[in-house]
Structure 1
Amino acid sequence: MNTAKSRKTLLIKCAVGASAILLLLWLLFPNERYQQLSGSQSNTGVAEQQQQQRPSVEHQGNTVMTPDPKTESSADPTTSSSTSPSSPDSEHCSTPHPGRPLIQYALMIDAGSSGSRIHVYRFNFCREQPELEDEVFYPIEPGLSSYKDDAEGAAKSLDELMQVALDKVPADLHHCTPIELKATAGLRLLGESRSKKILDAVRTRLETQYPFPIAGGENGIEIMDGKDEGVYAWITVNYLLGSLKKGGSAAVFDLGGGSTQIVFEPTFDDESAMAEGEHKYLLDYGESQYTLYQHSYLGYGLNEARKRIKNEMIETWKDEAERSGHVYHPCLPANHTETITYGDDDKKMTLIGTGAGHAQCRGVVERVFNKDKICALSPCAFDGMYQPPITETFTARDLYVFSFFYDLTQPLGMPSEFSVQELAELTESVCSGETQPFKHVPDAIEALMNKPDYCLDLTYIHGLLRIGYDVPPERLVRTAKKIRGAETGWCLGASIAMIDEAQICQVN
């Protein structure tokens, strides 16, 4: 009897002790934490699913793009956009320049002829001039100009880009993040009526569907003037290189699909100066004024030039070509055939490649530069346009070539710096059909086999430098898709100008 009673007493004590332990656990770990722990696995699955549904974004990393090496950052690029939306901060300072926010985002859409791309920039204002901390770049195809008579479709095509902006800019900074869209040669070539309808539809969609303020007033959504395109690209490259000092800047050669630009800061002796005209661009940046030479050649971008080079042989053999329905072309591989349209009435013509080689192709290409056109203001580069000679006014500084210059040379194993003569030698190898020189380069032979225009394109970019701009064969050029982690091109320069002018959310 006493034994049974002892056991009962022991069980009661154990029950009381267990209850006390459970009560202690409940006090130490509130119910909310149990819910978080129990739901963590399912939440992770949802996050992974959401991540898979988002578009893939090329993230440029937390590289500080500033001429001052003291402020460079070596932070992990995978964490550069993880700043809390409610309190954006910078690794480089805690107090902003007076009247400026510490962190400023900016959105720039490049509506080019071959596609549209968004750049999401994150700057700090630790000093008076903005310092680039981070860039996200995301491209789509096709470009706005491909929609022609479907203005609403063109506007909606940008939704994919805008989703990237919504994801990357903290929500409470949306209303302080300016956006601009600059269309280039593709819409210029589409004509005023069609291009206006597309741009109007784009403006309406951005204003009604998205929270970002459009900067620049009427110029916030526009076809950009070719001279601005080149100058903004010049600012971008020299900003990233830290070369924004008078007499020390690099020259910029940009090659898009519809147009090509040249911008450089020439130097003259005491007895000469740059001729007056639209080519002369006075740029005030920081505390300095730069006297730049610039020109944009509409119709000399790679895509447009390719059409002209192919049509050139049709014009040469016009009567026979129209009678037979075909024409031979030295810039295309031997026995390659393709049908193109030409003329205002879109006639059909078959081109048959002869694989004649670089010299024969160059004979056709050089004709599209119109070197014999009347030069109203001497000296001229090509197509009758004045240009200070590079050999005399830009002798010891860097020449940067990018966009299609980069896209054509780098897949074939060219270094980031090469001479114009080395570009000619590369073109010789491609146009002769050689594959041995490219066996060490991953995917190079496949690229050559899949692109019958490779000989034509390389001959054109070589001709543009050597024949068009008269760059000597021994002169070195540099090419880059990015400099210090940021995309080259005009977008960064335009964004710097935008946030300087807009100042949507100033700090008192």
Structure 2
Amino acid sequence: MIDAGSSGSRVHVYKFNFCREEPELENEVFHMIEPGLSSFENDPEAAADSLEDLLQIAVESVPASMQKCTPIAVKATAGLRLLGAAKSQRILDAVKNRLEVKYPFPINAVEIMDGKDEGVYAWITVNYLLGNLNVGRGGKSAATFDLGGASTQIVFEPQFPIGNEQMAPGDHIYQLKYGNRQYNLYQHSYLGFGLKEARKKIKSDIIRLREEYAIASGRVYHPCLPENYTETIKWTSHNTTTNVKVIGTNAGHAMCRGVIEKIFGKEKPCPLSPCAFDGVYQPPLTETFSDHELYVFSFFYDLTQPLGMPLQFSVRELGELANRVCSNDVEVFQHVPGAIKVLKQSPDYCLDLTYTHALLRVGYNVPPERLVRTAKKIKDAETGWCLGASIAMIDDNQLCKRY
């Protein structure tokens, strides 16, 4: 499985044992590279070239006798979605041609994955690795919150009291059959609310709010960035493009939060109530998912673990961490190897942590005292959507069989 994400591409080579009632993961080979396919928007062949190292790892990891019956899929996510249909299709065509001409694996798919599948496959991955999907076992499934570069997804199995109203109808419902169970999942993928896209929006919103001043002076001030840190943003208004300097003021977590919370559009009309953010319906976690585990991963993990956070923390503690970083209170991280260096090298750390906290607390309405878990791996397998997508892919292919 090739994960062609917005920030990089990753290969996952899975080995399963099929002698059991459900596939049992025996081994995973994982490697990632940067940048992602979307970085080659005007050079499709260079995009295909960028996957060569990953494809060689796949060849080396699968025995030669099994390569012709080991399926491969390349699934792109929000990075390519944002390029537009024409550019993204040229890249996908170049990648598919490279696989057909040079590599022995039967091709399952080379495509842009639907955002809802991305979220649900991640849900399958986490719950599969936790053992929540074991055949014959009843168990509470965990909710998953994925935060990529361009999009973020939420997936959970709402629990409604018997006799009460059920989930409102709509395309947010994902009916998943796994083993002998039917799962009625809530899912939504928010394109443009991944960390990197949100970061762009948070910076440009300051210009939009003070557009006249920004264009006239060529500068604007931002509370989420370090004092005197400067970044130039191209701003287009009335068919005229101007370079605007965004200058940090290090105003602190509260002031930064005041800017960031505006991007969630909590004031938008809510056609189907209740809504989480951006006018999108979501069953309330406090009422329909009060005693199940919440798993947050990808950038949630990448931002918290270098600063010494445990693998389980409350939403309030995440806000306290953001407050420490935004206060430039770096000495409290002296006990964590490499933490101070990471903070000094990353001018966006205050903004990023404040956004991740606001996404949970303000966006998804997770109470401050609620505990969340984060993980890069569970049982030595990477979290994310790839394992779930691979399990779903198994039934669609003629797999290698030994007699």
Check 1:346–1:482 CA distance in 2 against 1; reply closer, same or farther (3 A cut): farther
Residue 127 of structure 1: CA displacement? Answer: 1.0
Contact 2:265 2:277 in 1 (8 A): yes
Separation of aligned partners in 2, 1:130 and 1:321: 58
Unaligned runs of 5+ in 1: 1-107
The one-letter code matched in structure 1 to 2:2 is I
Q: Which residue pairs with 1:213 in the alignment?
A: 106
% identical equivalent positions? 67
> 1:247 deviation in Å?
5.8
Give the secondary structure class of the aligned counterpart of 2:396: helix
Look up the match of 2:118.
229
The answer to whether structure 1 residue 256 and structure 2 residue 144 are counterparts is no
Structure 2 residue runs of 5 or longer lacking an equivalent are: none
In structure 1, what is the equivalent of residue 303 of structure 2?
Answer: 408
1:352 equivalent in alignment to 2:259? no
Q: What does residue 315 of structure 1 align with?
A: 208
Q: 1-side partners of 2:164 and 2:98: how far apart?
A: 54
Give the Cα–Cα distance (whole angstroms) in 1 for the partners of residues 369 and 399 of structure 2. Answer: 48
Alignment-mate amino acid for residue 265 of structure 1: E
**Rg bigger for which structure?**
1
Q: Which runs of 4+ in 1 moved over 3 A?
A: 342-347, 504-508
**What are the residue-to-residue correspondences of 1:73-472 with 2, within 5 Å?**
108-215=1-108, 220-244=109-133, 248-269=140-161, 270-343=163-236, 347-472=242-367
Equivalent position amino acid for 2:160 in 1: F
The whole-number CA distance in structure 2 between the counterparts of 1:363 and 1:346 is 27
Cα distance between partner residues in 2 of 1:320 and 1:346 = 15
Q: CA separation in 1, counterparts of 2:333 and 2:61?
A: 40
SS class of match (1:119): strand
Q: Deviations over 1:5-51 (max 9, x none)?
A: xxxxxxxxxxxxxxxxxxxxxxxxxxxxxxxxxxxxxxxxxxxxxxx
Q: Over residues 190-238 of structure 1, what are the superposed CA-to-partner deviations in whole Å (9 max), with x where a residue is unaligned? A: 00000000001110100110000002xxxx1100000000000000000
Please state whether the residue corresponding to 2:28 is helix, strand or coil.
strand
C-alpha distance after superposition, 1:306-338 (max 9, x if no partner): 000001110111000000000000000111111
Q: In terms of mean alpha carbon deviation, does 301-310 or 124-133 score higher?
A: 124-133
Residues 479-490 of structure 1: pairs in structure 2 closer than 5 A: 479-490=374-385
The amino acid that maps onto 1:354 is: T
Are 1:247 and 1:265, in contact at CA under 8 Å, matched by a contact in 2? no
Compare the two structures and name the one with the higher helix fraction.
Answer: 1
The code of the aligned residue for 1:498 comes to M
Q: For 1:501, what is the secondary structure of its paired residue?
A: coil
Instruction: State the Cα distance separating 1:342 from its structure 2 match.
Output: 3.3
With CA pairs under 8 Å and 6+ residues apart, which has the higher RCO, 1 or 2? 2
Aligned counterparts of 1:137 and 1:306: Cα–Cα separation in 2: 28
Letter in 2 for 1:445: I
Shift of 1:246: 5.2
Secondary structure, aligned partner of 2:152? strand
Shift, 1:437, TM fit = 1.0
The normalised TM-score by structure 1 is 0.77
Count the aligned residue pairs.
397
Asked whether the equivalents of residues 319 and 357 of structure 2 are also in contact (C-alpha less than 8 Å), the reply is: yes
SS of the residue corresponding to residue 120 of structure 1 reads: strand
Kept in 1: contact 2:66–2:400 (CA 8 A): no
The residue type paired with residue 268 of structure 1 is F
Residues 346 and 458 of structure 1: is their aligned pair in 2 closer, same or farther, counting only changes over 3 Å?
Answer: farther
Q: CA RMSD in A?
A: 1.2
